Amino acid sequence: MTELRFLIPGKAVGYYTMGKHPNFQRRADYYAYADRVRWEARQAGASLPLVASELEPLFIETRMRSLTRVHHDPENVAKGICDALFYAGKNAKRNSSDKYCGGQFHPSTYGDNEGVAVLIRPYATLHAEDDK
């Protein structure tokens, strides 16, 4: 895989699990956001689900921009994006786990144009210049 960049416009939604007192609307919002993440990734040329391996790990970087200071935790947003890209749906590949995926999430910034910028690249490209 080569470097892939895309933007998920709109309000970011963080990872959500059913707890002791489930909130079904939040879960529905999370699933809808995962669908939007996959759609934007496919529009940018991604073949989903992503596949990372021990020999070919991936690095995913996220930058969240919000209109207000009331938003999801950037770490949870990054986790939700990873889960959406490596989803193990009905027709998913067997090795579509994010076990060999690392990354970086940045603190949220504020202003117009709400959304999350995503950069995906092979982990090996991060240190290619160090090996020279």
**pLDDT at res. 103:** 94
**pLDDT at res. 6:** 98
| Average pLDDT along the chain | 88
Give the C-alpha separation, 17 to 29, whole Å: 12
- Asked if the model's pLDDT at residue 121 lies above 60, the reply is yes
Range of the domain at 49: 4-126
Give the C-alpha separation, 110 to 122, whole Å: 29
Q: Is 95 helix (H, G, I), strand (E, B) or coil?
A: coil
**Closest by CA position to 85, among listed 29, 41, 123:** 41
Q: Give residues with Cβ within 8 angstroms of 91, minimum separation 6.
A: none
Average pLDDT over residues 98-114: 93
User: Of 95 and 79, which is predicted with more confidence?
Assistant: 79
Average pLDDT over residues 8-16: 92
Residue 132 included in any domain? no
pLDDT tens-digit readout, 42-75? 999 999 999 898 899 999 999 999 999 989 999 9
Q: Which CATH number belongs to the domain containing residue 41 in this structure?
A: 3.30.1330.70
Domain count, the chain: 1
Confirm if 81 and 106 have CB atoms less than 8 A apart: no
Residue 121 included in any domain? yes
Residue 131 included in any domain? no
